[in-house]
Structure 1
Amino acid sequence: MWLFLGCDTAQIEQEDNSSTPPISTNVLGINNIVEKNSTLNSSSITEETQQIDNSIDTIIDITPSPTPIPTHTSEPTPTPIPIHTPIPTHTPEPTPTPEEPKDYKTKFINENRCNQIIDKEFLEICYDYSLKVAKSVAYTLEGDLVNELNIEERPSFYEEESIDEQYRAKSSDYTHSGYDRGHMAPDAAFDWSEESLEATYSLANIIPQVPEVNRHMWVKVEAYARDKALDLGEITVVNVVKYDNNNSHIGDDNITVSTGYYKMLFNTNESYEECFYYANDINANSEDDNLSKHKVDCKNINN
């Protein structure tokens, strides 16, 4: 509207003054034109405004109400599904693998255990100088020899010359002592040759034994060992002699009397081992004696 007025005014200013009507007339004309245009424009604006209002009302009427945003509703706690616990089945414990027999010969025949190892070819003796007797004796019984020949004539006991004289035992030390000259490696297991038999009569292989034990009880386990050698082909035997601080002594050379003795039988190739203990008790009674009364666990022998 104002651009239109500006345009008319510019034209009026450019016209020649001679052709311009009197100012009062022109102004009146302009006012009429402006008034007329204002009336027209006001009417048009009013009509357009009314149309816009009507359109807005229409838009408002046809616009759907917005869907309300639901407020947060906590989800219900789900019912837990019970977990099926399987009923444990009984699993049998595995059968323990039997422990391999140990080499007891190495354990009990060594220089850490005694003062001198005496090799008699058929047997080995671990000899103690202060005790003047063996602490352990080891030998192998061969099944095809233990019952061969069986030489009846027995040799005499003799001093072991490989031992310094001051530490030797003498046969006279046992005379009237009340104790037998007891073999550790038994003569009955080596009577298949004169050499093997003689080796068992060294006094280094002898300890003081209670007669009741030596003749009626110890002899049984010696025979059992020979039978085992027949069954298995061969076995190794280790006799371990037990001493304590209260042992008595016999003879002029103070030969120590043991508390007892173990006989250990084993064959590592056959996974076999058995051990027995005999107390060197002067009150021993052999009447109801049997091997089962003397059986012990080999692994507990540490003397």
Structure 2
Amino acid sequence: MLPESQVLPVKTMDKVYSHYKLYPAFSKYFTKENCSLVMDKYYYINCYSYDYKGTKAVAYKIESKILNMGTAGKRPAFKSDPQIPQAYRTKTQDYTRSGYDRGHTLSNQSMNATLQAQASTFLMSNITPQNPQINQRVWRKAEDRERFLAKQKGSAEVLNIVFYAKDKSKIQYIKNGIAIPELYVKVIEAGDVKECYEYPNHKVEDERLESYRADCERFVK
């Protein structure tokens, strides 16, 4: 169960997607101890940190029948999230000339069968400063993998975890005090398959998907 005091009200109604219910195995990442704000975005749950001005975890379910519908339209513009208090809100201009991409935590391609779903992935609360190579070529392979497994097995439960340096004195920031993550982890559970991937947030020599396989027991039971 999510902490009721932190769950923001759902205002979205979508005839294609069902209201996402948090997968029990992922629940420890969406507590009041771990999150400044737990946001129910209808399509996904977001654990947002005021300290980092970014997400710490995003969970969602993708289904083969919806993925096969294709995209509803062209990519929308990035938008600040009005559910976050102004002092902790980020905007697309914060990333300009930062050297980092506006990296989706939940991929647009995994949630774009309706315009509403697609727009939800372009909220800045779903974005973190991501190394361009990791975002465009390395993490992207794990995103492709989640969709492949969902199509193969019918659906997939996905958890994306964003880790920041434990030593806060080592955290670097872009404009507006947005913390740069240290690591990204993707957990995929599809039928009898469970796979996890762990990526650093810096340039790498090896871009192969299998090179970033991780032990899922470290993250979920």
TM-score category, normalised to shorter length: 0.7 to 0.9
The one of 122, 134, 140 equivalent to 2:55 is 134
Counterpart CA distance in 2 for 1:250 and 1:116 is 21
TM (norm. structure 1) is: 0.62
Q: What does the per-residue CA deviation read over 1:77-130, in whole Å, with 9 as the maximum and x for residues that have no partner?
A: xxxxxxxxxxxxxxxxxxxxxxxxx94321212222111011111011000001
SS at match of 2:68: coil
The one of 254, 265, 272 equivalent to 2:188 is 265
- How far residue 152 of structure 1 moved from its aligned partner, in angstroms, is 4.4
The one of 222, 229, 233 equivalent to 2:154 is 233
Instruction: Give the strand-richer structure, 1 or 2.
Output: 2
Q: What does the per-residue CA deviation read over 1:204-250, in whole Å, with 9 as the maximum and x for residues that have no partner?
A: 00000000110011111101100100111111110001111212000
AA aligned opposite 1:294? Y
Is the Cα contact below 8 Å between 1:239 and 1:262 reproduced in 2?
Answer: yes
Counterpart CA distance in 2 for 1:209 and 1:184 is 10
- How far residue 290 of structure 1 moved from its aligned partner, in angstroms, is 1.5
Map of 1:296 onto structure 2: 214
Is the Cα contact below 8 Å between 1:104 and 1:238 reproduced in 2?
Answer: no
Number of positions where the alignment pairs a residue of Structure 1 with one of Structure 2: 195
Q: What does the per-residue CA deviation read over 1:122-170, in whole Å, with 9 as the maximum and x for residues that have no partner?
A: 0110000011000000110111111313234111111111111001111
Map of 2:34 onto structure 1: 113
Counterpart CA distance in 2 for 1:133 and 1:169 is 8
**Of the two, which has the highest radius of gyration?**
1
Counterpart CA distance in 2 for 1:152 and 1:162 is 25
The one of 85, 103, 106 equivalent to 1:185 is 106
The one of 276, 290, 302 equivalent to 2:197 is 276
Stretches of structure 2 lacking an aligned partner (at least 5 in a row): 1-22
The percent of aligned pairs where both chains have the same amino acid is: 31
Select between 103-112 and 221-230 the one with higher mean Cα deviation: 103-112
Map of 2:82 onto structure 1: 161
- Whether 1:202 and 2:123 are equivalent positions in the alignment is yes
AA aligned opposite 1:295? R
The one of 165, 173, 185 equivalent to 1:249 is 173
SS at match of 1:154: coil
Listed as ranges, the matches of 1:46-125 within 5 Å are 103-125=24-46
RMSD of aligned alpha carbons:
1.5
Instruction: Give the helix-richer structure, 1 or 2.
Output: 1
Instruction: Name the structure, 1 or 2, with higher relative contact order (CA <8 Å, separation 6+).
Output: 2
